[in-house]
Amino acid sequence: MGFAYFSIPSFLSVIMFLVLCALLILPELTHAKHARVTRHYKFNIKLQNVTRLCQTKSIVTVNGQFPGPRVIAREGDRLVIKVVNHVQYNVSIHWHGIRQLKSGWADGPAYITQCPIQTGQSYVYNFTVIGQRGTLWWHAHISWLRATLYGPIVILPKRHVPYPFPQPHKEVPITLGEWWKADTESVINQATQTGLAPNNSDAHTINGLPGLLYNCSAKDTFKLKVKPGKTYLLRLINAALNDEIFFSIANHTLIVVEADAVYVKPFRTNIVLITPGQTTNVLLKTKSKAPNATFVIAARPFATGPATFDNTTTTGLLEYKTTSSLTNTKSNKKLPLLRPVLPKFNDTVFAANFNNRVRSLANAKYPANVPKTVDRHFFFTVGLGLSTCSKNQSCQGPNNTRVAAAINNVSFVMPNIALLQSHFFNKSKGVYTTDFPANPPFKFNYTGTPPSNIMVTSGTKLIVLPFNTSVEVVLQDTSIIGAESHPLHLHGFNFFIVGQGVGNFDPKKDPSKFNLVDPAERNTASVPSGGWVAIHFIADNPGVWFMHCHLEVHTSWGLKMAWIVQDGKQHNQKLPPPPFDLPKC
């Protein structure tokens, strides 16, 4: 048997060559491990027949699915989502809670950042998820189409980055919504013509299913099958058009670990309050042994306003898997059904206490970068009022008036050309003005006896902010027509909830109590009924950004406005030009 013979110099040169190759390849491998991935999705907007509550109707869907498909990405990934419109309505899709840093053209609200996608047309939403991880969601952002056009966005942490809480055995998106027997476009059109409040939904849903308490819906019940002694991450989303919602699972405690895709200090609760637009991640730890019971998952509205609402409860079932699926099938029929106890529909004390418990992690890895000093202070009243209808319209309010909603007494009028285009190309004339009031036009006892004149003005008014301005907005509910909580959503930013309270905001006393250490960081905040909330944010994202109530009825009535954030001086602080396929009005 012969031995291979290497001279020492040649052997060393081979080793050197291999080491050199490794050094060249290693950075590539390291980079590849953390490289952003581009993820492609195609959304075909199409009609689909769906049966609920004994009735089949044609609804607008993405790819025929209701709720719509899950969008999954990792922090740092790029998303390229082609939306093709095959229905008779104009459509636009909003990626709710995505910061859209320098990608404002992809934000999605119709007539704000884009003209809607017309029938037979398409648009590619192209954006990168920067510095975010957690649960968000997507939905239609035109008229009331989001009644059925919605779905979850799951942003996983970067590879090899753990959650700051126990790794769950399984993750389950749970989207809360509404079901309407009527066509929702007809519902809002009729309300617009009469000037009165629109009809209510007929059911609430969990992942599109109404559940046991509604007619013909036993088979349309969401079932969460779990194993004993495991931890599940429930990704809760409130996609309802008009209802804030209480959520609970009988005989189980939930641990809140994230809100609006920001980790929070974990806290235990039996009930979660979640307003339209918000997301909340909770850990569900199952019992160590399979109990002889099935547990009801229940959700129903939290409502504080004077109007009627859909006061029904949607239910799902939490079922424990036993060792044998056969015994499970037999015993299921005999198992007792345990129901959770939910707060009263108008329990504002529970709402205030729950919202006060949501606090940022505010640690070294996940800091709360709340602006401590403020460049611009704004005080916004939010609430209802009346506006005069045109002479050729017969509105059913007193003296031919309609119900309106306003911020600082301005009811926002949607333009018929997108604001972002008008701003970017310096063509604002006749589209919008930049004189939105920083304070209410007249002072009154906001949460006491309403003033005698409750008429609102209307217009397309915006506020201009220089790049990197630190902003404080106090949002004050009013009792005009009736005090009511308002979930306010700000596009393009997360903000910090530095304070909230009941009654009228006191500019002398209340700011001294602001939490500038670990306030909740969110994209949607509920202005308490008959109270106020104060938020801070940094205007570090150039573009035009919508702010509106996420109760769709109030948005339709004009409870909305928009901010222009100007470009910064650096190249990376400027909004790039629009994509070539930006829809035309």
| Residue whose pair of structure tokens reads 């509550």 in the numeric block | 53
Angstrom distances, CA of residue 313 to CA of 206, 207, 210, 417: 10, 14, 8, 40
Q: Does pLDDT of 1 surpass 60?
A: no
- For residue 27, name the pLDDT band (cuts at 50, 70, 90): very low
How far is residue 403 CA from its own chain's centroid?
26
C-alpha dihedral over 348, 383, 150, 75, to 10 degrees? -80
- Beta 486-490 vs 401-407: how paired, if at all? unpaired
- For residues 177 and 46, what is the distance between their CA atoms, to the nearest angstrom? 19
DSSP codes, 406-432: EETTEEEPPPSS-HHHHHHTT--TTT-
Q: Residue 326 has what pLDDT?
A: 44
Q: Does pLDDT of 266 surpass 70?
A: yes
Contact of 61 with 68, CB cutoff 8 Å: yes
* Residues present in the chain in total: 585
- For residue 34, name the pLDDT band (cuts at 50, 70, 90): low
Contact of 383 with 450, CB cutoff 8 Å: no
The secondary structure of residue 65, as a DSSP letter, is B
CATH number of 376-565: 2.60.40.420
- For residues 551 and 532, what is the distance between their CA atoms, to the nearest angstrom? 17
Q: Residue 36 has what pLDDT?
A: 83
Fold of 165-322+336-360: Immunoglobulin-like (2.60.40)
Which residues are paired to 238 by β-bridges? Answer: 176
> pLDDT tens digits for 398-421?
889 999 999 999 999 999 999 999
Fold of 36-160: Immunoglobulin-like (2.60.40)
The residue type at 10: S
Q: For 405-443, b where at least 16 C-beta lie within 10 A, e where not — what string?
A: bbbbbbbbeebeebbbbbbbeeebeebbeeebbeebeee
Element (H, E) at 190: helix 184-194
- For residues 109 and 91, what is the distance between their CA atoms, to the nearest angstrom? 10
- For residue 502, name the pLDDT band (cuts at 50, 70, 90): very high
List the structure tokens of 548.
């509106």
What value does the mean pLDDT take over residues 537-547?
A: 98
| Residue whose pair of structure tokens reads 């018929």 in the numeric block | 416
Q: What average pLDDT does the structure give for the chain?
A: 93
Task: Say which residues have a Cβ less than 8 Å from residue 566's Cβ, sequence separation at least 6.
Answer: 464, 465, 466, 467, 542
Which residues are paired to 204 by β-bridges? Answer: 178
Angstrom distances, CA of residue 343 to CA of 204, 212, 247, 298, 380: 17, 20, 10, 12, 30
> pLDDT tens digits for 170-187?
999 999 999 999 999 999
- Identical fold at 36-160 and 165-322+336-360? yes
Contact of 96 with 550, CB cutoff 8 Å: no
DSSP codes, 27-43: HHHHHHHH---EEEEEE
Could you tell me the residue ranges of all domains in the chain? 36-160, 165-322+336-360, 376-565
- For residue 331, name the pLDDT band (cuts at 50, 70, 90): very low
- For residues 539 and 572, what is the distance between their CA atoms, to the nearest angstrom? 14
Three-state secondary-structure class, residue 13 = helix
Contact of 360 with 266, CB cutoff 8 Å: no
Angstrom distances, CA of residue 492 to CA of 43, 102, 430, 537: 22, 9, 25, 11
Q: In what order do the strands lie in the sheet with 150-156?
A: 71-74, 150-156, 134-140, 93-96
Q: Does pLDDT of 110 surpass 90?
A: yes
Q: Residue 13 has what pLDDT?
A: 52
List the structure tokens of 520.
């909740």
Q: Does pLDDT of 149 surpass 60?
A: yes
